Amino acid sequence: MRTAYHRRVPEISPDPSTGRDIASQYEPRRVEDVLYRRWVDRGYFTADAASEKPPFSLVIPPPNVTGSLHLGHALEQTLMDAVLRRRRMLGDEVLWLPGMDHAGIATQVLVEKHLAETEGKTRHDVGREDFVARVWRWKEEYGGKILGQMRRLGVGVDWSRERFTMDDGLSKAVQTIFKRLYEDGLIYRAERIINWCPTDHTALSDIEVDHADDEGELVSIRYGDGDRSVVVATTRVETMLGDTAVAVHPDDPRYAHLIGTEIELPLVGRMIPVVADAHVDPEFGTGAVKVTPAHDPNDFEIGQRHSLPMVNIMDEAARITAHGPFEGLSREDARHAVTAALREEGRIVAEKRPYVHAVGHCSRCDTVVEPRLSLQWFVRVEKLAKAAGDAVRDGRVTIEPPALKPRYFDWVDNMHDWCISRQLWWGHRIPVWYGPNGETLCVGPNDTPPAGDGWTQDPDVLDTWFSSALWPFSTMGWPARTADLSRFYPTSLLVTGYDILFFWVVRIMLFGLYAMDGEVPFRTVLLHGLVRDKYGKKMSKSRGNTVDPLDWMDSYGSDALRFSLARGANPGLDQPANEEWVAAARNSCNKMWNATRFAILNGATVEGDLPTELGPVDRWICSRLDEVTAEVDGYLASYEFAKATATLYHFVWDEFCDWYLELAKVSLTSGDDAAAATTRRVLGEVLDVSLRLLHPFVPFVTETLWTTLTGGESLVVAPWPQATGQRRDAAAEAEVAALQSVVTEVRRFRSDQGLRPGQRVPARLSGLDAAGVAPHEPAIRVLARLEAPTDGFAPTATLGIANGVTVELDLSGTLDVAAETARLGRDLATAEKERAQTEAKLGNADFLAKAPDHVVANIRDRAAIASAEIERITAQLAALRSRA
């Protein structure tokens, strides 16, 4: 009985729980929510600390509580999810811990802005307690939007373990480590030059400052008079009001006579010393530098070395406080005013404008940072950073890709002490109390804060990154020795963008090694690149090229977004994102959908073992499947996401769909029931394995298809395919390649001849035996639309194919000689070029003597093939001419 390989089936319920959904297009929105809820409800993502399975754990880089999903998150979470879904299928007990960061400045600024807009008040108007309460309310109302967006993306996080950096537990961890560091002398309070933002009115750490080349001015000023004068150059004229010395290099003969003397500071009239300091570069400018210890980090150090007074001339908003005509001016206005005054006194020697130099800006509001002398809390990092460097140096922590290791070392080996106090209200309050008699008391989580008159807590809060640095272990209950900690710590992997290597990764290393007695916080750090726009430009609101990933998920489905992001993810490199590529990925999902739909409608099955006796086509696809399984597994294991997805894409589309399915149709309609049954089983096999391999990247569509195809519970907990190598079959691969070349050549001929794709052409095939494709003649005829020769068969064209097959076609006398001549001419040129190149090599004695044997053999083969091609094509051209 003849088996139809296709039959019309009415579209049935889209609910994958009720059975088979065989619409002709994949509709993501009909399955995504249902499946995600099911995965969560079934507890697939809930880690079991008591499990016997090997643990694999990862904490999510906590997004800002006020944030929303952007493409960077989507990429990062797609990569994490892909890694973890594979680990889960491999049988690991996977913990993926989600949560959010309170994001000190970012959140506070947002709420302050809201307060100003809605009530016209500042935070000072409402007071600290009320303001913090408002931030909490804001967080409850608007925060956490991103968590819902993560569900859309399909990420397998353990919602039962969700954490927030301001949770009680995490706050306790913050207090614990603060006290421990304090008692170890690794946290101290000191008056130092720090980066101050005059807009946000808070201290910043070094990495919260962005340097930019700005156009400024370089003004040279003469201090003192006559022999006792010196010219100094500065980009910040206004700071001269706070100068307390002039410094020169100790070995500079030009100024040797001035060292130790005093000269008069213009405008101010103060006498200031000339000091010798090796920091001064005699080559730069005049070789003399003004020293403002309270407003420049270098000058501060010179001041320390020479016990110079420190004169602070600015307030928190960077307005001049020095008494006199400039008091109250902004630093910018003061710069002009002071310059004008100096010019009037004839003290300006030179002015260079514009003068381009590096200027620090607040990374949050872009205000020019003011170096400011201020009493702040610091972490003494030297010892901690050394340990953090060693952990990578000795291989206990691996950084992927390794090319980014120099950046890591650059940071940990040159780190300055970390300023951790912030003059904000939203954050972890510094757990230190000051007593009425100058006492300082650090309070741990189990201590009772001091009470009574005169005791006050430090008003500042900690840098956001202080609590982020504890994230991998504070989220697991540290400092308590919890089951999660003993089971899942150290974490297996940290996935994050290289842009926060310093902000976060390094600081986790600092605190992690310290808090956990030298235990590393993670074994591997995987640094991914940034998502850029389709032209490779950085995405930013000001450029207007930002993309809301939800829009793309709405249009094309979560899987499409995930697949396109994974496909662009080459290790450590930035990647562009383009809506067209997401659309292409959507098309791929649809392709998988329809291929599986075809297979299911034709009775594909996964029941029972594969037949031991397989035909060459089945052996070929099984051979390729085994190879692809090995490749994809290897790529995923080494975080080569782009290669893993590209391999799958090409296998599924170019090999399975374009060739195997078409050949399967031949088998299914052949009337050979045994062959058809084998084909149905192989179809089921290839799809089963392919869907499992694809699942880490495109979980929704694969889950829908796989459960329908196999009746299995879920791909989330299905076993990960293992390549055995036993099905590799080079002979079958060669045989199918020969078949493909015949079909392709005929198709090419047909296209050149302008034959309609559907038109069947009578043809006689010969040489099939020698080419090893004799059993495939029926398939070749179907795929190339060639009919058996009829009674009046009169071939008008003879097509020679490189593998020795000849196809004679009866075109009813309509052969387009010109088109065919042109085609053969192009082929001939290609073959002649190949022959010339290969024979040139073979004529080179050095090549023959020095190149490895296999290379020489390969060139000989190619030369022979090229010669044969030339002969064949020449003969065909001659035949064509004689016909014309």
Residue of 58, 71, 75, 289 interacting with RNA (CB under 7 A): 289
CB nearer to RNA: pick between 35 and 157: 35
Q: Which of residues 192-211 bind RNA (CB under 7 A)?
A: 206-207, 210-211
Residue of 232, 430, 525, 768 interacting with RNA (CB under 7 A): 232
Q: How far is the CB of 319 from RNA (least distance, A)?
A: 20
Q: How far is the CB of 296 from RNA (least distance, A)?
A: 7
Q: How far is the CB of 743 from RNA (least distance, A)?
A: 7
Q: Which of residues 38-77 bind RNA (CB under 7 A)?
A: none
Cα 573 vs. chain centroid, distance in angstroms?
8
**Does 403 sit near RNA (CB under 7 A)?**
yes
Structure tokens that stand for 59 in this block? 């904490």
Closest Cα partner for 620 from 682, 665, 680? Answer: 682
Q: How far is the CB of 614 from RNA (least distance, A)?
A: 21
Closest Cα partner for 220 from 254, 266, 258? Answer: 266
Residue of 183, 658, 673, 713 interacting with RNA (CB under 7 A): 658
Residue with tokens 């050549």: 745
Closest Cα partner for 83 from 652, 562, 512? Answer: 562
Q: How far is the CB of 864 from RNA (least distance, A)?
A: 10
Cα–Cα distance, 271 to 262 (Å, whole number): 6
**Does 297 sit near RNA (CB under 7 A)?**
yes
Residue of 545, 594, 708, 821 interacting with RNA (CB under 7 A): 594
Residue with tokens 């959908």: 593
**Does 520 sit near RNA (CB under 7 A)?**
no
- What is the residue type of 17? S
For RNA, what does the binding mask look like between residues 20 and 39, x meaning CB under 7 A? ----xxxx------------
CB nearer to RNA: pick between 283 and 791: 283
Cα–Cα distance, 745 to 429 (Å, whole number): 75
Beta carbons of 520 and 552 less than 8 angstroms apart: no
Residue of 87, 586, 692, 781 interacting with RNA (CB under 7 A): 586
**Does 554 sit near RNA (CB under 7 A)?**
no
Burial class (CB in 10 A: 0-12, 13-18, 19+), 429: middle
Cα–Cα distance, 325 to 334 (Å, whole number): 10
Q: Which of residues 258-277 bind RNA (CB under 7 A)?
A: none
Residues in the chain: 884
Residue with tokens 């507890």: 43
Q: How far is the CB of 125 from RNA (least distance, A)?
A: 36
Closest Cα partner for 747 from 620, 624, 658? Answer: 658
CB nearer to RNA: pick between 258 and 595: 595
Structure tokens that stand for 596 in this block? 């599986």
Residue 737: CB atoms within 10 A of its CB come to: 12
**Does 748 sit near RNA (CB under 7 A)?**
yes
Cα–Cα distance, 421 to 461 (Å, whole number): 6
Q: Which of residues 406-465 bind RNA (CB under 7 A)?
A: 406-407, 410-411, 414, 416
What separation in angstroms does the CA of 286 have from each of 23, 233, 258? 80, 7, 14
Q: How far is the CB of 289 from RNA (least distance, A)?
A: 4
Q: In what order do the strands lie in the sheet with 456-457?
A: 440-442, 432-434, 456-457
CB nearer to RNA: pick between 417 and 703: 417
Residue of 116, 215, 225, 284 interacting with RNA (CB under 7 A): 284
**Does 538 sit near RNA (CB under 7 A)?**
yes
Cα–Cα distance, 746 to 760 (Å, whole number): 12
Q: Which of residues 482-501 bind RNA (CB under 7 A)?
A: 499
Q: How many residues bind RNA (CB under 7 A)?
A: 101
Burial class (CB in 10 A: 0-12, 13-18, 19+), 48: middle
- The phi-psi region of residue 506 (left if phi > 0; otherwise alpha if psi is between -120 and 50; otherwise beta) is alpha
Q: How far is the CB of 495 from RNA (least distance, A)?
A: 18
Per CB under 7 A, which region of 125-133, 285-293, 378-386, 626-634 contacts RNA?
285-293
Closest Cα partner for 715 from 729, 700, 730? Answer: 700
**Does 643 sit near RNA (CB under 7 A)?**
yes
Residue with tokens 């040279």: 220
Residue of 85, 87, 123, 236 interacting with RNA (CB under 7 A): 236
Q: How far is the CB of 327 from RNA (least distance, A)?
A: 23
Cα–Cα distance, 470 to 473 (Å, whole number): 6
CB nearer to RNA: pick between 306 and 862: 862
Residue of 121, 145, 279, 352 interacting with RNA (CB under 7 A): 279
CB nearer to RNA: pick between 535 and 674: 535
Residue of 98, 287, 431, 762 interacting with RNA (CB under 7 A): 287
Structure tokens that stand for 367 in this block? 């205000």
Residue with tokens 């089921």: 684
At 528 the three-state DSSP class reads: strand
Residue of 41, 253, 395, 535 interacting with RNA (CB under 7 A): 535
Residue of 14, 250, 273, 285 interacting with RNA (CB under 7 A): 285
Cα–Cα distance, 101 to 161 (Å, whole number): 15
Residue of 339, 376, 590, 707 interacting with RNA (CB under 7 A): 590
**Does 757 sit near RNA (CB under 7 A)?**
yes
The conformation of residue 452, written as its DSSP 8-state character, comes to S
Q: Which of residues 814-873 bind RNA (CB under 7 A)?
A: 826, 834, 841, 844, 846-847, 850-852, 855, 858-859, 862, 865
Burial class (CB in 10 A: 0-12, 13-18, 19+), 537: exposed
Cα–Cα distance, 17 to 13 (Å, whole number): 9
Q: How far is the CB of 500 from RNA (least distance, A)?
A: 10
CB nearer to RNA: pick between 458 and 627: 627
The conformation of residue 404, written as its DSSP 8-state character, comes to G
CB nearer to RNA: pick between 493 and 683: 683
Residue with tokens 């034709």: 602
CB nearer to RNA: pick between 282 and 450: 282
For RNA, what does the binding mask look like between residues 664 and 683, x meaning CB under 7 A? -x------------------
Per CB under 7 A, which region of 12-20, 223-231, 433-441, 650-658 contacts RNA?
650-658
**Does 358 sit near RNA (CB under 7 A)?**
yes
At 172 the three-state DSSP class reads: helix
Cα–Cα distance, 467 to 170 (Å, whole number): 8
**Does 327 sit near RNA (CB under 7 A)?**
no
Q: How far is the CB of 379 from RNA (least distance, A)?
A: 15
CB nearer to RNA: pick between 100 and 412: 412
Measure the N-to-C terminal CA separation of the chain; round to a whole number of Å: 48
**Does 753 sit near RNA (CB under 7 A)?**
no
CB nearer to RNA: pick between 84 and 592: 592
Residue 91 CB-half CA count within 13 A: 6
In angstroms and rounded to an integer, the radius of gyration of the C-alpha atoms of the chain is 37
CB nearer to RNA: pick between 78 and 474: 78
Per CB under 7 A, which region of 257-265, 287-295, 438-446, 465-473 contacts RNA?
287-295
Cα–Cα distance, 284 to 697 (Å, whole number): 57
Q: Which of residues 566-585 bind RNA (CB under 7 A)?
A: 568, 570, 573-576, 580-581, 584
Q: How far is the CB of 156 from RNA (least distance, A)?
A: 24
Q: How far is the CB of 552 from RNA (least distance, A)?
A: 13
Q: Where are the alpha helices (DSSP H) in 229-371?
A: 297-305, 331-344
Residue with tokens 């000849």: 806
CB nearer to RNA: pick between 114 and 862: 862
